[in-house]
Amino acid sequence: MRSPQHPATDDIQLTEVLRALSDPVRLEILGRLAREGHLYCFELGAEMDLHKSTLSHHYRILREAGVTHTSQEGRRKRLTLRRDDLDARFPGLLDSILAAV
């Protein structure tokens, strides 16, 4: 299993971040990540009533946009928010979105 692709901080594009967050499911994931600090994919699978492959698709979009970081822990996958990177690149953006979620 190849390690997942994360864009470098400087390569995070505003249009991609905005597009990634313009979906209710991904906005919900973002809110959970912000509140809980991190989460395991299988936790969402148990709650969100979406096929696991659909969720996997959303994880990829968030990751490739630079919003989340994914790390492997055994057979589980752990998501965290790239808060520092996003704040460095687009100051205030994340906070204003999270305040509205």
Binding mask 15-44 for a copy of itself (x = CB under 8 A): xx-xx-xxxx--x-----------------
What kind and span of H or E run contains 81?
A: strand 76-81
Tell me the CA distances in angstroms from 56 to 11, 14, 44, 45, 70, one per residue in order. Answer: 22, 22, 11, 10, 12
Most distant pair of Cα atoms in the chain: their distance: 37
**Total of residues contacting DNA (CB under 7 A):** 28
Chain contacts with a copy of itself (rule: CB under 8 A): 14-16, 18-19, 21-24, 27, 89-93, 95-97, 99-101
Chain contacts with DNA (rule: CB under 7 A): 1-2, 4, 19, 23, 25, 40-42, 45, 49-61, 70, 74-77
